[in-house]
Amino acid sequence: MKNKITHNLWLKVMSVVLAFILWLVVVNINDPDTVKTIRAIDITILNEEAITGQGEGQVYTIRENRVASVVVKGPRSIVDNMDKNDVKATVDFSEVSSVGAVPINIVSLPDGVTLQSKITENMKINVEPLLTDRFQVEIETTGTPAAGYVVGDTEVSPNVVNIKAPQSVMEKIRHVVVRVDVDGMSTNVSGRSVSLILIDGNGKEIEYTENEQITLSAATLLAGADILKCRTVPMEFAVIGEVEHGYRYTGMELSQQEVTLKGTRETVDEITLIQIPASEEAFSLADLTESKESTVDILPYLPKGTELLNESERYITVKLNVEQLHTRSLYISTDLLTVRNLAENLDIAYEVSPDSMLELEGLQEELALITAESLQPAIDLDGKAAGSYVYEVEITVPEGVEEIRSSLITVILTEKPIEQETETEESPEEETHREVRETTTQPTTTERATIPVMVKPAPETTPEKETTTTKETTTARETTTAKETTAEHVTEAETSEESSSQQETTTLEETLKGMAIVP
């Protein structure tokens, strides 16, 4: 078997090669037909005026099949070398259907090549009117001005443009704008050349530069923007009138106490305060018996050449607080009384009467915090001699509290007893008796009895009576001193001291009776 395959091998190979060559010759001589698909064939539009010439202005837009695709058949030698440029296709707008379909016609193919089929049979178009409209040009700023500055008025020239476009495009246009960059600016921007931008309802730009159906009266404009300085300034308010008797105005509450203004740098730098006059009804306290709330428009009171940065700050709510006054009576105890400038030779006693009650007026919460001690009650006896005096107690009241009735107290001043010693020469015997008396006898201390004070009005003491009483007291003291000095022994000294004490007490009682004080 192997010998049969390998026998005359070279002859067999030669036979195969010759057979292939013979096949090629036969094929090239016969040139058989073949099929090919050609795509993206440009379409020539005929009779375009059949659409654009209708009415005042018609335009069309191709919505499907801007290019054609076909299948051709022909000799291999031709078809294999064909491309889209070897096929010519046309549409005749005079043949457009009611639904906008225009048949695609294949009008030219290479010789020997036939149209097998059309993949795209029709071009589909939309026919619509061409509209013209007028739009106001809006200005948008981009970026942020320098710190402390804001964008003021803006301007653009021209501020209106005419646009001519298909209805479908015109219906999409919502805004016509130009954009001015103010980033980092602290001075005005003017005369800047900017391009017009068409914006649809979704905020997207409508491309028009390559659309021949859209025309603008001006595509480039000049724009500018004022850069204003802003400043926050306080407001000053004043009230007018008086509340009803028995009530008090306690203050004002405001929804805001300052506003932010904007204006030119020269104007704003001079403003430090905005004054709202009391002539506004909102600030009148006349005959109020309760709090009042009002709204004030501050726009009329802004300095000339300025505006509010935020419109929300234009109206301010003003509340005038009014509260009813209350009274409180307090008793000033003499234990709490501070006595100033009392002479060293005087004793003091008090006579209390209903007039000693103090009456204060103020707000309830203020009065509740007051105690007699917190008022720091005091009297000043500067330059006063022995006698009876009616004093108005001095007090320190908190702010907002008024003293409507003072506390009156009667003060009784008496002279303290003055012990006088008579110096005489003593004999040796008297000196011995005195030493024995000091050694063996406990000295008797004379204590002044405390005189209780009754609440009873005291008649005023006349100067004449005061002088008489003082003389009697001085005479009694001199008599007592003489008796003590002339005593010679212990028993006589004790007897003399007891007699002197009794006589001094009797004299003091007579003095107090003369001053209408009953012990």
pLDDT digits (tens, 9 = 90+) for 112-143: 899 999 999 999 998 888 899 999 999 999 99
Which of 49-58, 202-211, 260-269, 394-403 shows the lowest per-residue confidence on average (mean pLDDT)? 49-58
Q: What is the mean pLDDT of residues 374-382?
A: 93
Residue 497 has pLDDT above 70, yes or no: no
Q: Are residues 303 and 354 in the same domain?
A: no
346 inside domain: yes
14 inside domain: no
Q: Are residues 225 and 190 in the same domain?
A: yes
Q: Are residues 379 and 460 in the same domain?
A: no
93, 120, 147 — which closes off a domain? 120
Strands 215-216 and 292-297: unpaired
Q: Are residues 267 and 214 in the same domain?
A: no
Residue 476 has pLDDT above 80, yes or no: no
265, 300, 324 — which closes off a domain? 324
Among 412, 350, 386, smallest CA distance to 473 is for 386
244 pLDDT band, cuts 50/70/90, is very high
Query: What total of structural domains would you count in the chain?
Result: 5
Q: Which residues contact 90 (CB under 8 A, 6 or more apart)?
A: 43, 44, 45, 46, 104, 105, 107
More confident residue, 33 or 286: 286
Q: Are residues 134 and 223 in the same domain?
A: yes
pLDDT, residue 342, reads: 92
Q: What is the mean pLDDT of residues 92-115?
A: 91
| Number of other CB atoms surrounding residue 173 within 10 Å | 18
Which of 34-38, 72-76, 104-108, 499-503 shows the lowest per-residue confidence on average (mean pLDDT)? 499-503
User: Rounded distance, CA 107 to CA 87, Å?
Assistant: 8
Q: Are residues 134 and 225 in the same domain?
A: yes
Q: Are residues 193 and 253 in the same domain?
A: no
190 inside domain: yes
Report the percentage of the chain scoring pLDDT > 70: 78
419 pLDDT band, cuts 50/70/90, is low
Quick one: CA torsion of 6, 10, 11, 14, rounded to 10 degrees? 130
Question: What CATH number is associated with residue 411?
Answer: 2.170.120.30
Q: Are residues 245 and 309 in the same domain?
A: yes
Burial class (CB in 10 A: 0-12, 13-18, 19+), 29: exposed
More confident residue, 13 or 224: 224
Query: Could you report the per-residue pLDDT of 293-337, keeping only the tens digit for each?
Result: 999 999 999 999 999 999 999 999 999 999 999 999 998 888 899
Q: What is the mean pLDDT of residues 45-71?
A: 85
348 inside domain: yes
pLDDT, residue 22, reads: 80
495 inside domain: yes
User: Rounded distance, CA 204 to CA 236, Å?
Assistant: 48
pLDDT, residue 183, reads: 93
Q: Which residues contact 156 (CB under 8 A, 6 or more apart)?
A: 137, 139, 178, 194, 221, 222, 223, 224
Helix or strand or coil: residue 472? helix
31 pLDDT band, cuts 50/70/90, is confident
pLDDT, residue 458, reads: 36
120, 140, 168 — which closes off a domain? 120
Q: What is the mean pLDDT of residues 9-15?
A: 79
Q: What is the mean pLDDT of residues 37-65?
A: 86
Q: Are residues 499 and 447 in the same domain?
A: yes
User: Rounded distance, CA 407 to CA 148, Å?
Assistant: 61
Residue 355 has pLDDT above 90, yes or no: no
pLDDT, residue 21, reads: 83
Query: Could you report the per-residue pLDDT of 248-276, keeping only the tens digit for each?
Result: 999 999 999 999 999 998 999 999 999 98
Strands 378-380 and 338-340: parallel
Task: Kindly state the helix (H) or strand (E) to which residue 261 belongs, with its residue range.
Answer: strand 258-263
Residue 284 domain boundaries: 238-324
Its pTM stands at 0.51
Which of 51-60, 265-274, 284-293, 500-509 shows the lowest per-residue confidence on average (mean pLDDT)? 500-509
Residue 65 has pLDDT above 80, yes or no: yes
Which of 305-309, 394-398, 444-448 shows the lowest per-residue confidence on average (mean pLDDT)? 444-448
Q: Are residues 435 and 496 in the same domain?
A: yes
- Match 């009754």 to its residue by tokens: 454
pLDDT, residue 424, reads: 45
Among 274, 279, 262, smallest CA distance to 228 is for 262
User: Rounded distance, CA 460 to CA 326, Å?
Assistant: 36
Q: Are residues 92 and 74 in the same domain?
A: yes
pLDDT, residue 420, reads: 55
DSSP state of 284: B
pLDDT, residue 53, reads: 74
User: Rounded distance, CA 344 to CA 355, Å?
Assistant: 28
398 inside domain: yes
Question: What CATH number is associated with residue 97?
Answer: 2.170.120
35 inside domain: yes
User: Rounded distance, CA 233 to CA 100, Å?
Assistant: 68
Q: What is the mean pLDDT of residues 212-238?
A: 92
pLDDT, residue 56, reads: 62
266 inside domain: yes
Question: What CATH number is associated with residue 245?
Answer: 2.170.120.40
pLDDT, residue 113, reads: 92
pLDDT, residue 2, reads: 60
Q: Are residues 157 and 191 in the same domain?
A: yes
Residue 354 has pLDDT above 70, yes or no: yes
pLDDT, residue 11, reads: 79
DSSP class per residue in 166-230: EHHHHTT--EEEEEEE-TT--S-EEEEEEE-EEE-TTSPBPP-TT-TT-EES-SEEEEEEEEEEE
| Distance, C-alpha 502 to centroid of its chain | 83
33 pLDDT band, cuts 50/70/90, is confident
